[in-house]
Structure 1
Amino acid sequence: MKLAVIAGASGFIGTHFRRELEAAGWQVRSVGRTTGDATWGDTAAIAGVLEGADFLLNLAGKSVSCRYNARNKAEIVRSRLETTAELGRAIAACRVPPLDWFNASTGTIYRDARDRPHAEDDGELGSGFSVDVARGWEGALAAAATPATRKIPLRITIVMGPGGGVMRPFVNLARLGLGGAMGGGGQKYSWIHVDDLIRAVLFLHGHPELHGPVNIASPRVVDNRELMAAVRRNVGVPFGLPTPAWLLKMGAVVIRTEPELVLKSRWVWPAKLQDAGFTWQHPDMDGALADIMAGDR
């Protein structure tokens, strides 16, 4: 039986991964804060969990859907860098370390892009807090001394799927008649269906010749205007009032999140996956939304 270890398995993405892997016959172990087969801070126990694993998937980290005050920013950084560093120490202590270590990163590492897509080899990194977090996260992975384990940062774009995630607020806005374009509406929205994220990780596990950061995104990017139109079609609402940037910024304070999550233009191109022959199950926004809405029902 193949063995996968998931760090941060209790979140939206981790829950989907565990369910799909177990359904496919994998044994799944987990590392978490208070529950799991090992907990953070017990490096020896984590090493035991990792012993002989086919791959490690690290999703641990505080959600970025919060206000970026000093306390939250410090926890966003700490929860990513410290857990990644501890996993590196645990792998180094293994007699038979995992073959692969897939560590979450983010497509937000690239600059605000409205002129062209950004692939792994030609993407221009941006600046600001979110980019600094991504750089530090990938730096902690690179610094881990694990010569027998392939390390791949997953530059994951916005993950969509049934059971929660980012789509619920968009759907609620559309049902309230507020599902028009947000901000200017031209900002790119790079995304991935959670099923394709899972399939991409398994694909990478089966292709040991691939190295370095990998962009996890659908090849068919939409802009915010197209996204909201697709949401309206799928909930049966013909019209939605647009939301100007100034109102989004005010609303973000009320719901305790950051307007960057909506207003930044993310145009991420999955060149490595496409060149290696990966095929997407949900490449189109309308089809992905129909699947998500059916799953939520």
Structure 2
Amino acid sequence: MSVLASSPRAVVIAGASGFIGSHLIRRFADDGTDVRTIGRSGPAVWGDTGALARTLDGADALINLAGRSVNCRYTRRTADAIFSSRVDTTEELGRALALCRARGGTPPPVWLNSSTGTIYRHAEDRPQAEDDGDLGTGFSVSVARAWEQALADAPTPGVRKVALRIAIVLGAGSVMTPLSTLARAGLGGRMGPGTQKFSWIHLDDLYRAVVLIAATPSLEGPVNLAAPGVVTNAELMAAVRAQLGIPAGLPTPAWLLDLGGMIIRTEAELVLKSRWAFPRKLLDAGFAFDYPTLGSALHQILPPNRVEAPKPVRAH
């Protein structure tokens, strides 16, 4: 087990309607935390900075997860939405925190702002930790850089800021649905070369890491939220097949991924880029993963196919 950390008494979650946010709400509520939300509906909505400031007053932590899904084609319209939904909301939260203090309120002492492990370069040679990782290039990296810069530039003295560089999050649903569907359809082989690294974190470990970070004053700046048990894409697909009891799967070449991405309106980069984020800061802070290996995570997430043993034939 990891170093124990107490859940905050009150937490504000911005962008709470997604896969991660809805899970965090449930887990915090189960732990007795007062959960307040910021989103497109409710008492605190984007664009009403005064309402955001009131919601933040007296909370122990702010967690911002707002951002349009990147599972789409990067057209000018979707690219603008991906960028603005991250940078603009982060900037508004900075203004709300400043307004909370200006009104005589008590803003949360720690601000955990979502970022992404995709900020690092395509890496197959070595892991990318917070202190020695190389930042990459391209649209996704540009968004991540601007996202983190908006957090750093926010005028919030006295508020500890943490950029959560989150790897692919595994849980019931999300990315596991298409991966298991492909495997069951016989297409569960490697994608592209299969050598690209797959950094991931189990949804429950993500929650526990967030709690630890919020309670640990020495953790600030970028923090990688990724399990240490990184695998290649080929190993990922083999593990999914093994968990489902499927012996083999056809590989998907890169050109077909590009073509398929055009048809289903997503980007092949999501599976072809090699992401190798290493959680050095978490490990140094004493965090122990409940799901450090992919096998342990898949065993909890994907129920194996159950094959009944043949019934014995009775002699007459």
Q: Displacement of 1:294 after TM fit?
A: 4.3
Query: How do 1:205-284 and structure 2 match up within 5 A?
Result: 205-284=214-293
**For residues 19 and 64 of structure 1, what CA distance do their matches in structure 2 show?**
24
Q: Which residue of 1 aligns with 2:88?
A: 82
SS at match of 1:39: coil
**For residues 267 and 210 of structure 1, what CA distance do their matches in structure 2 show?**
21
Contact 1:159–1:191 at 8 Å: present in 2 too? yes
Q: Displacement of 1:90 after TM fit?
A: 0.4
Contact 2:244–2:303 at 8 Å: present in 1 too? no
SS at match of 1:153: strand
Match of 1:118 among 128, 136, 156: 128
Q: Which residue of 1 aligns with 2:186?
A: 177
SS at match of 1:137: helix
SS at match of 2:292: coil
Contact 1:97–1:148 at 8 Å: present in 2 too? no
1:152 paired with 2:162, answer yes
Q: Which residue of 1 aligns with 2:16?
A: 9
SS at match of 2:221: coil
1:38 paired with 2:44, answer yes
Listed as ranges, the gaps of 5+ residues in structure 2 are 1-7, 305-316
Instruction: Kindly provide the amino acid, as one letter, of the partner of residue 110 in structure 1.
Output: Y
Instruction: Kindly provide the amino acid, as one letter, of the partner of residue 302 in structure 2.
Output: M
Q: Which residue of 2 aligns with 1:290?
A: 299
What count of residue pairs does the alignment treat as equivalent?
294
Q: Displacement of 1:290 after TM fit?
A: 1.4
Match of 2:116 among 103, 106, 109: 106
Identity of aligned residues (%): 60
- Provide TM-score, normalisation by structure 2: 0.91
Match of 2:70 among 61, 64, 72: 64
Listed as ranges, the gaps of 5+ residues in structure 1 are none
Instruction: Kindly provide the amino acid, as one letter, of the partner of residue 136 in structure 1.
Output: A
Instruction: Kindly provide the amino acid, as one letter, of the partner of residue 165 in structure 1.
Output: S
Contact 2:63–2:113 at 8 Å: present in 1 too? yes
**For residues 26 and 232 of structure 2, what CA distance do their matches in structure 1 show?**
31
**For residues 52 and 210 of structure 1, what CA distance do their matches in structure 2 show?**
21
Distance 1:53 1:122, change over 3 A: same
Instruction: Kindly provide the amino acid, as one letter, of the partner of residue 95 in structure 2.
Output: R
SS at match of 1:113: coil
Q: Displacement of 1:212 after TM fit?
A: 1.1
Match of 1:140 among 136, 146, 150: 150
Contact 1:105–1:153 at 8 Å: present in 2 too? yes
Larger-gyration structure (1/2): 2
**For residues 28 and 221 of structure 2, what CA distance do their matches in structure 1 show?**
24
SS at match of 2:36: strand
Q: Displacement of 1:36 after TM fit?
A: 3.1
SS at match of 1:28: strand
**For residues 68 and 218 of structure 1, what CA distance do their matches in structure 2 show?**
28
**For residues 261 and 211 of structure 1, what CA distance do their matches in structure 2 show?**
28
Contact 2:243–2:303 at 8 Å: present in 1 too? no
- Residues 21-77 of structure 1, C-alpha deviations (whole Å, 9 max, x = no match): 0001001010001x2331000000000000011101000010000000110000000
